[in-house]
Amino acid sequence: MMKNKILVLFVIFLFTGCYNYREINSLSITTAIGIDKKDDNYLLTIQVVNTQKVGSDTNSTGEQSKFITYETKGETIQEALRKIVLESPRRLYINHLQLIVIGEDLAKEGISQIFDFFMRNPEARKQSQIVVAKESKAEDVLKILTPLETISSKNIVDSISSDSKYLGVSENNTFEYQVKTYLNDRQDIVMSTVKVVGSVDKGENTESLKDVSSDAKVVLQGLAVFKKDKLVGYLTEDESMSANLVNKKVKDTLVNIECDKNKYITIELMKPKVDISPIQDKLQMKIEVNGNGNIKEIDCDYDLNDIKVIQEIEKKTEEKIKQNINSVLNKTINEYKTDIFGFADTIYKSNPKYYKTIKDEWYSKNLENLQIDTKVDFTLKGKGNIITVIPDEEN
Amino acid sequence: MIYMLNNIEEIVRKLKKDTKDSDDIIYREKYINRKKIYIIYNEPLTSSDKISDFVVRSLNKIKSITGLGLYKKIKNSISNFKVTEIEDYQDLCFYLHKGFTILLIENETKAIALETKANLNRSISPSTTEDTVRGAKDSFVEDIQTNLGLIKKRIKTNDLWIDKMNIGKYTDTSIGILYINGIVKEDLVNEVKKRLSKINISGVINSGVIKNLIVDEKVKFPTAQTTERPDVVSDALLQGKIAIVVDNSPYVIIIPALLQDFFKTMEDEYGKDTNVSFTRILKFLAFMISIMTPAIYISLVTYNQEMIPTDLLVSFAVQRDGVPFPAFVEALMLIISFEILRESDLRTPTTTGSALSIVGALILGDAAVNAGIVSQIMIIIVAITSISSLPFTELEFINTLRIYRLLFMVGAVFMGMIGVVVVFIIFIIRICSIESFGKPYLMPLVPINLSGLKNSLIKLPAKLLTRRPEYLSNNTIKQRSTDDEE
């Protein structure tokens, strides 16, 4: 009996042969992969944590970078990824992948192969962010050093997540969500974009971190709009905010309204409720936005105790929001001819039979003919800590 | 051959021969009315004051024998309370080695043994191994009578029954089995007596010897509790447990002991229920940390790197960088070093102990990290593991945690998190199968017992703890509130 027990324990532990044993120091922790296309080859930029440097305080001089970037080429993404061994001494470990950056050129050509590769790979983390490098190459984005977060890809990811909390310009969704939306076929995808501002060559140098303002920076920009798997255009920051508002992704954002010539009131719009409902059997859509907010900043000499003034501000805000929404609707539907708000999906969900009849001509005819009625209802909840307006000197 | 006690010269000759003319045994001759009397005593065990005061002085007062024989005269006039008649040679030796003074009287068939023991005991002092903040400060000493007294002082009833027996061919150690009649379960008493009667050993030096001989040897976890605090023993007796007091040992065995008993201290009885519950949950956490932390760390850095946040992984990777050993070997090295340090600290006198800990802490900790042999994070892991095993008072328990810690580590190094889970399942099966004198070890959790659960991991307010757990006693009513009509 005892012999059997020992035998069972031996089989359990020893016959597995330490499958998948890998010491942490034999891995290259990959935080970001940038993908470009160059002459029919994929050009991969891989950002790996430099474990000899980050976090350890002993003899840190700041001379060495917190991360290392490798570049490889290959006809497929997998081939390029494997070829990294020629350069890197350690195995690439992409379970902790945080960010996938797609170069603009490749995004215009189509990104379905990227979706396929990362979904197929069992090691790749599906929770990573995917962004488009606006007007630049993915390679450049990943090479820039960032001052606040030690690893630049983390800088971008954190930036996106705080933006989605306080501003609402970018798309804060996982890679998995994007693929799901793409495969859904009734909605087009949008992606956050990053852009390199300044000189790339200087930004790659650790010296640039010592300056008060870095020479080159990576900043978030408005959304990139896709039609199917191809990039068709970009939205401005204001448009992106409105797009996110309609897509119910805004938690907190700002609306500027002009109260006088070149004088503005900034309203903080908090937790807006958006309702998109189709009209039965008609190519009509109703968008209702319900929101409330506070005055954050005011430049005009308004008497905020007057209810009429308040009502006027509310009205102006409503108009402004409505105008923004209409402009982004116009741009995506009429100019880019994409359905990033998933109107097709909304119709399908509320009336699948009707959707079947309009499905075939959706992009060619029906989307443009869709009548969208926008209604905004805004209530001013607070005026901040002071009630009166601090006047200009002239008054 | 039977030695008749009336032939006193022959008895003395035999005694001298048997003890190889030991200098320790003193033979003093004395004559009363021309009758020869031998005063025999074992010098290291006896108090010469007592002999002069109670024996010799009393004998000197006897002038003449009128009517009664000399034997009865002596027995009546001795001013010593504890007087025993001896009828044969074996008894004589027994009493002689217990510190009695023997009076051999010429032509008498009986001898007299008088209690003249020297006081070889230390006084009652505070407990050193089980300190409390607010509990009673006394602790057991080596003398069994003192120890019994400390318990009887607390439980004043006829129902506190003591079964005495002597174990050990050469040591002839007295052992007292204590229980409260009416609370304890009879079969438990019988089981303990049965196991004790089976013991056939040359000597019992400490209660630990008895403990090892009556518990099941196969299990790693201790199934009997040892304590040096009389209040712990009294409380256990009131719960329906059995205490075994062994002469010459300041540690009393309490039977049965379940897993939960090692999480409880006497102070829990005095503390507020919420605070006690908090402490017990903390101890349970410490228990889990103590056996599993190194294993989980090893599986995280060698197999399951995807399970931790990226920042933590990077921090681990940076610290592990340049360490020449695999994580398992690194952990093993540090744990063994710590165990050596602990063992040496226990054995060295306090004067060198502090020097030892400085050397240990500096060399093992700081220098090893600076030399790049071990990583800082491993030092943290081993430190938290070791600290977590210390809230328990029972040394056996702490040492058992050590064994399971190593088993978990082996599981982790072969199969990562899956290995940890496999060992955990084995651990749970093992611990569930343990019995302490017929009581399931995980009582009251497995099998579930409601009245026991009220005072296990979480302690309910004292007013609600009105019943003894059924598994320890048939008489379950412990406390009756005044408005209880039951």
Q: Is the pLDDT of residue A255 over 60?
A: yes
What is the Rg, in whole angstroms, of the alpha carbon atoms belonging to chain B?
30
Q: What pLDDT was estimated at residue B485?
A: 43
Cβ <8 Å between A21 and B303 = yes
Q: What pLDDT was estimated at residue A55?
A: 43
Partner residues linked to A54 by β-bridges: none
The answer to the question of residue B204 being in a domain is: yes
The answer to the question of residue B139 being in a domain is: no
List the alpha helices (DSSP H) in A121-231: 138-143, 152-166, 175-184, 200-203
**Joined tokens for residue B78:** 């001795």
Query: What would the pLDDT profile of A31-80 be if each residue is shown by its tens digit?
Result: 999 999 988 899 999 999 888 744 445 544 444 567 888 999 999 999 99
Q: Is the separation of the CB atoms in B436 and A39 below 8 Å? A: no
Q: Which residues contact A19 (CB under 8 A, 6 or more apart)?
A: B415
**Joined tokens for residue B437:** 């004198």
Q: Is B407 within 8 Å of chain A by CB?
A: no
Length of chain B: 486
Same domain, B150 and B249: yes
Q: Which of A326, A323, A364 is nearest to A344 (CA)?
A: A364
Q: Is A12 within 8 Å of chain B by CB?
A: yes
Higher pLDDT, B141 or B364: B141
Assign A203 a pLDDT band (cuts: 50, 70, 90): low
**How many other CB atoms are found less than 10 A from the CB of residue A16?**
15
On chain B, the residues whose CB falls within 8 A of the CB of A18 are 413-415
Cβ <8 Å between A29 and B302 = no
Residue in chain A lying closest to B316 (CA): A24
Cβ <8 Å between A23 and B301 = yes
Same domain, B166 and B280: no
Same domain, B186 and B286: no
Assign A6 a pLDDT band (cuts: 50, 70, 90): confident
Q: What pLDDT was estimated at residue A56?
A: 46
Assign B69 a pLDDT band (cuts: 50, 70, 90): confident
pLDDT (mean) for B220-225:
89
Q: Is the pLDDT of residue A213 over 60?
A: no
Same domain, B250 and B318: no
Query: What would the pLDDT profile of B23-62 be if each residue is shown by its tens digit?
Result: 889 888 888 877 888 889 998 999 888 888 888 888 888 7
Q: Please, what's the b/e burial string for A106-129 (b: 16 or more CB within 10 A of its CB; e: otherwise)?
A: bbbeebebbbebbeeeeebbeebb
Q: What pLDDT was estimated at residue A62?
A: 47
On chain A, the residues whose CB falls within 8 A of the CB of B411 are 13
Domain end point (choices B74, B100, B115)? B115
Ranges A24-28, B77-81, B213-217, B251-255: which has the least confidence: B77-81
What percentage of chain A carries pLDDT values higher than 90?
Answer: 39
* CA atoms within 13 Å, Cβ hemisphere of B48: 6
Partner residues linked to B253 by β-bridges: B226, B244
H or E segment at B200?
none
Q: What pLDDT was estimated at residue A130?
A: 93
Q: Is B299 within 8 Å of chain A by CB?
A: no
Cβ <8 Å between A25 and B306 = no
The answer to the question of residue B453 being in a domain is: no
Query: What would the pLDDT profile of B285-322 be if each residue is shown by its tens digit?
Result: 999 999 999 999 999 999 999 899 888 998 898 888 88
Q: What pLDDT was estimated at residue A379?
A: 92
**How many other CB atoms are found less than 10 A from the CB of residue B79?**
11
Q: Is the separation of the CB atoms in A338 and A182 below 8 Å? A: no
Q: Rounded to whole angstroms, how far apart are CA atoms A96 and A55?
A: 18
Q: Is A18 within 8 Å of chain B by CB?
A: yes
Q: Is the separation of the CB atoms in B45 and B117 below 8 Å? A: yes
Q: Which residues contact B242 (CB under 8 A, 6 or more apart)?
A: B177, B178, B179, B184, B188, B189, B192, B254, B255, B256
Its ipTM equals 0.81
Q: Is B215 within 8 Å of chain A by CB?
A: no
**Joined tokens for residue A350:** 């509320």
Partner residues linked to A375 by β-bridges: A288
The answer to the question of residue B319 being in a domain is: yes
Q: Which of residues 45-104 of A touch B (CB under 8 A)?
A: 49, 51-56, 93, 95-96, 98
Assign B345 a pLDDT band (cuts: 50, 70, 90): confident
Q: What pLDDT was estimated at residue A148?
A: 63
Domain total of chain B: 3
Cα distances (angstroms) measured from residue B482 to each of B460, B463, B466, B468: 19, 11, 12, 18
What percentage of chain B carries pLDDT values higher than 70?
Answer: 96
Q: Is the pLDDT of residue B416 over 60?
A: yes
Q: Which of residues 315-344 of B touch A (CB under 8 A)?
A: 315-323, 326-327
Assign B424 a pLDDT band (cuts: 50, 70, 90): very high
Cβ <8 Å between B321 and A52 = yes
Domain end point (choices B115, B134, B157)? B115
pLDDT (mean) for A17-26:
81
Higher pLDDT, A338 or B7: A338
Q: What pLDDT was estimated at residue B249?
A: 92
On chain B, the residues whose CB falls within 8 A of the CB of A149 are none
Same domain, B86 and B161: no
Residue in chain A lying closest to B308 (CA): A96
Instruction: Write out the residue range of the structural domain in which residue B172 sits.
Output: 144-257
Assign A298 a pLDDT band (cuts: 50, 70, 90): confident
Query: What would the pLDDT profile of A373-394 be if each residue is shown by its tens digit?
Result: 999 999 998 888 887 788 777 6
Cis ω on the peptide bond leading into residue B447 (within 30° of 0)? yes
The answer to the question of residue B134 being in a domain is: no
Q: Is the pLDDT of residue B66 over 70?
A: no
Same domain, B419 and B306: yes
Q: Is the separation of the CB atoms in B83 and B72 below 8 Å? A: no
The answer to the question of residue B293 being in a domain is: yes
The answer to the question of residue B262 being in a domain is: no
Q: How many Å lie between the alpha carbon of A77 and the closest alpha carbon of chain B?
A: 22
Cβ <8 Å between A51 and B321 = yes
Interface-testing mutation among A18, A23, A60, A98, with chain B (most B C-beta atoms within 10 A): A23
Class of domain A238-395: alpha beta
Residue in chain B lying closest to A122 (CA): B306
Q: Rounded to whole angstroms, how far apart are CA atoms A12 and B315?
A: 32
HEC string for B312-331: HHHHHHHHHCCCCCCHHHHH
Q: Which of B303, B318, B410 sits opposite A54 (nearest CB)?
A: B318
Partner residues linked to A129 by β-bridges: A99, A174
pLDDT (mean) for A220-246:
92
H or E segment at A292?
strand A284-298
The answer to the question of residue B445 being in a domain is: no
| Domain map (residue ranges) of chain A | 24-52+62-234, 238-395
Q: Is the pLDDT of residue B232 over 50?
A: yes
